[in-house]
Amino acid sequence: MLSKKTQYAFHALVHLAENMDKGPILISEIAQEKNISIKFLENILLELKNAGILGSKKGKGGGYYLLRPPKEIALAKIIRLLDGPIALLPCVSLNYYERCENCRDEAVCGLNEVMSKVRDSALKILENKTLKDILTRNS
């Protein structure tokens, strides 16, 4: 399951996308709108900023905003950033690969094969669906 962190990130990004025309949006506004602890959300938005997904402005009139159009922000990117691997096993992760301990030979490991397929089928969706696809109203 996705962590709260990732779920909150999606909600926040949706709010930012739906209010792109209004300039920088306050953390506090998003927190209130989406029922998220403001301090927790602060950390999440910072991470998104440091990853180059959001921009920010300090001081009065400041806040957060999307750096790219929603249709260019793939869901997979957000999940990987905040939750880590999408794959079900470390040995089939593309971005967070780790060797299996209890596995003699990955090339012949049946689990490895099946889980690679699961990963691919998930990525096919998550790499192609974007923020735009999860908005309620169109923008």
Partner DNA sequence: TTATTAGTCTATCTTTTTTATAGGATTTAT
Partner DNA sequence: ATAAATCCTATAAAAAAGATAGACTAATAA
Q: What is the 3-state secondary structure (H, E, C) of the chain?
A: CCCHHHHHHHHHHHHHHHCHHHCCECHHHHHHHHCCCHHHHHHHHHHHHHCCCEEEECCCCCEEEECCCHHHCEHHHHHHHHHCCCCCCHHHCCCCCCCCCCCCCHHHCHHHHHHHHHHHHHHHHHCCCEHHHHCCCCC
Q: Which stretch binds DNA (CB under 7 A): 13-21, 48-56, 112-120, 124-132?
A: 48-56
Could you tell which of DNA, a second copy, none binds residue 5, using a CB distance below 5 to 8 A set by kind?
A: DNA
Q: Which is nearer to a second copy, 15 or 55 (CB)?
A: 15
Residue numbers 10-39 binding DNA by CB under 7 A: 24-28, 37, 39
Could you tell which of DNA, a second copy, none binds residue 67, using a CB distance below 5 to 8 A set by kind?
A: none
> Does position 126 bind a second copy by CB under 8 A?
yes
Q: Which stretch binds a second copy (CB under 8 A): 20-28, 37-45, 51-59, 118-126?
A: 118-126
Please tell me the count of residues contacting a second copy according to CB under 8 A. 38
Alpha-carbon torsion, ordered 46, 48, 53, 59, to 10 deg? -20
Please tell me the count of residues contacting DNA according to CB under 7 A. 28
Alpha-carbon torsion, ordered 40, 46, 48, 51, to 10 deg? -140
> Does position 34 bind a second copy by CB under 8 A?
yes
Residues that bind DNA (CB under 7 A): 3-5, 24-28, 37, 39-40, 42-43, 45-46, 49-50, 56-64, 83-84
